[in-house]
Structure 1
Amino acid sequence: MQPDVSNTPSILVTGSNGQVGFELRRSLAPLGNVIAMDRAGCDLSRPDELRHLVRQYRPDVIVNPAAYTAVDKAETDIDGAFAINAIAAGVLAEEAKAQGCLLVHYSTDYVFDGNKDGAYVESDAVNPQSIYGKSKLAGEQAIADSGAQALVLRTCWVAGAHGSNFAKTILKLGRERDSLRVIADQFGAPTSAALIADVTAQIIAHRWLYGERRAFPAGIYHLAAAGETNWHAYATEVLSYAAMLGVELKTDPSHIEAIPASAYPLPAPRPANSRLDTTKLRDTFGIHLPDWRQGTHHLLQQIII
């Protein structure tokens, strides 16, 4: 692929085959020339190649959904997690600063320890408990240190029609097993990859490409679907809606066993509270975020029908 030389805005997207990256290819397409890069074309673990790529295409916007998301593997692959989630984020930010383009980067609820009673706001103290969370926080800090015009969107419990996620796993297991046991003491809002991509496109279009760039409200924002649930209730909703769509299940959705997180130990700790307050995003950009069930139902319709 050759660099775009027209006056059409160009948008460089990393991780284009991931859950969010796949949806970004759709949502950003009407805005300009989308340069979609998968891992083969854009390996975030190679900083020099990453710099060369940005300088080659000189995009108006860099959107970086690519990330090291193997949360448990990261506990032993520390260098790998930090290379992609922290060092690469800093490189993209430095290049964005040098070229005067916007960087959109995605972060996570894992930057918090999950001990707060209510939903987290952007100014709450960070305290990641896992290597994954620490590497994502380091990426946030590298972007801030660069001085680039950057939008950092923290999200949680992401699920898309393309790629692997909790909803797909539960649907598969519900078809195969007579019973399921699911954690009920961790809370958050399942957020569709499509919603994340659509919000991203709306902000880029109205506030960067066709807005006053000098007044762009850069910074950290929380982006998650409205409402809240726990993994057990989420699993029940997935199977109940799947049954309504005609899926034959072995697991009765009303009989999923609720268990504590302590009964399902994993190498990396998960936040008990992943709820994100999205008031700042709504007030700044005027964006309405739908209830998590809406995105979940749409996802299941895409997968099943």
Structure 2
Amino acid sequence: MTLRASQAGPSFDAVIERKETVADGVVELVMRTHDGADLPVWEPGSHIDLVFGDGLVRQYSLCGEPGDRRSIRVAVLRAPDGRGGSAFVHDRLAVGDAITLRGPRNNFRLVDADRYLFVAGGIGITPLLPMLRSVNARSVPWRLAYGGRTRASMAYADDLMKDHPGSVEILPEDETGLLPLDRILRDADDRTAVYCCGPEPLLSAVEQMCARFSIGNLNVERFAPRADAEAAPTTSFEIELFSSGRTLQVGPDESILDVLERAGVPVDSSCREGTCATCETGVVAGVPDHRDAVLNESERSENKTMMICVSRCQGLRLVLDV
């Protein structure tokens, strides 16, 4: 069974070449390989793992030039209520430090379209930057609506306005209020690909508005689990490993990933919250209870793969391609 190309990615050693504050609470890291070798090829929408050690691994969107094989760039927002990754980047990483990178992977691919509408909230601008460069280079019509708490907190806003004054709308909340999604999305049609990244309230609102306007070509990327991920009940179920016929029980308070790791079954994983697709696993039989933030509705309905770090079983048994 074929999984998306985003599942696997090589690890390689890198060095912090530059660290710079690009907005209130946001730092940009520019990294290169420690030996000067070419970096992996990547496409707009890709993200990469930063491996900090002691089991701390975080995913950040690549926001530089996809064609640049000498350096790789991410921007990291300090999250006061985060799990430690952003604090590590802001407080402990310094120019010259060695770091392990893994990937890149892409769950947010740029599709071909006649025109594009990009909607960004805060640090959600980062995966959209390479997309803007790509569609602009191809002379495809596009617009960007970029919101944030304050103008000072919006990374790259000044550069975007300077470089694309007719295509970019900067909408800080303290100046203009919440993004006027009704106006922003109203003119999108079947020929428009809509891309949105940002905090969960924005993503949910855009999804609802697109459903209202019957906009089908919506693409979103979440940095955090879906808002409804923990709403469904959890019950016990059985998994069968297709390669060996071995069966294992998954209790209500553990994930499939937990069970496989305890049983000594090697499985790649990273975020453990359904956002990175590293643990994507094929489904041979049974119906998954999808709780990830990666698969779109069409992929969910196919039930061919699942993210075993968070998703469960709608019935009593799953057969996994493991």
**Higher strand proportion, which one?**
2
Scaled by the length of structure 2, the TM-score of the pair is 0.27
Q: Larger % of helix: which?
A: 1
* Structure of larger gyration radius: 2
TM-score by length of 1: 0.28
Q: Which has the higher contact order (CA 8 A, sep 6+)?
A: 1
